[in-house]
Amino acid sequence: MYPKGLYSFFLFLLCNFGINAQKNTTEISFQLLYNTVPLELGQSYPISGRDSLKIDFLKFYVSNITFFKDGKQIGKSTEKYHLIDAQNSSLYRTSYTVKNKKFDTIKFTIGLDTKTQKKGIQGGVLDPTTRMYWTWQNGFINFKIEGSSRLCNTRKNKFQFHVGGFQEPYNTTQVLSLACVASKSLTIDVDIASFFNVVSLSKTNTVMSPNKNAVMVSKVLATLFSIHEN
């Protein structure tokens, strides 16, 4: 048995460590939406007035999440890669420890950087069983969305956007910087409806390899992300 005074000292240290750790931890959530409503796969959503669409598959990578204060990096995620999968949930949560909770900007990559792409198949979320890997030449798919709409003049009215490519001139990775107010809990909204407000399914409904359309679509994807304090 520890002396009563020594036990109290250990308890004091434990409590203070917990408080300090909690102060330096920020929970980041990625919320998948369609017109501000939580996204559901297979659900019918309005598009272009009287038409509609269904989304059957949605996955994308987010990587290299970092925190900045006045332009200086003060923290980064311990996990480099995250695979957001609508099949699991419309809400993806992860926590980070930052050196200074007074950050004012969060920066991250939609997709995977060139160095990671060149390494090819790895484990975890970079395993080919995720259905997010093409070949060693084209690498991983950064953003993948599939579904159907009568607007598509394709077999079974399907649309398929497999947005990837890491070699110039068809590098489709996008780096985002979002200004924010430091908080223990922040949500990054990803409103998929905004994508279909820009990309006309009657004209562009299939992207399956690195090309000009893939680059164009990747720039649209970068506009879907916004952030707010919970």
Three-class SS of the chain: CCCHHHHHHHHHHHHHHHHHHHHCEEEEEEEEEECCEECCCCCEEEECCCEEEEEEEEEEEEEEEEEEECCEEEEECCCCEEEEECCCCCEEEEEEECCCCCCCEEEEEECCCHHHHHHCCCCHHHCHHHCCECCCCCCEEEEEEEEEECCCCCHHHEEEEEEECCCCCCCCCEEEEEECCCCCEEEEEEECHHHHHHCCCCCCCEECCCCHHHHHHHHHHHHHEEEEEC
What pLDDT does residue 164 have? Answer: 96
What pLDDT does residue 111 have? Answer: 96
Q: What is the mean pLDDT of residues 191-199?
A: 95
What pLDDT does residue 19 have? Answer: 33
**Dmax over Cα atoms in the chain, in whole Å?**
79
Where residue 100 falls among pLDDT bands split at 50, 70, 90? low
Residue pLDDT, tens place only, 131-170: 999 988 889 999 999 999 999 999 999 999 999 999 999 9
What pLDDT does residue 14 have? Answer: 35
Residue pLDDT, tens place only, 43-88: 999 997 789 999 999 999 999 999 999 999 988 887 889 999 999 8
| pTM of the predicted protein model | 0.85
% of the chain with per-residue pLDDT over 70: 87
Token digits of residue 66:
């970092």
Question: What is the spatial distance between Cα 198 and Cα 194, in angstroms, rounded to a whole number?
Answer: 7
Task: Flag whether pLDDT at 174 surpasses 60.
Answer: yes
Which sequence spans correspond to the domains of the chain?
36-229
What pLDDT does residue 6 have? Answer: 38
Kindly report the average pLDDT of the chain as a whole number: 86
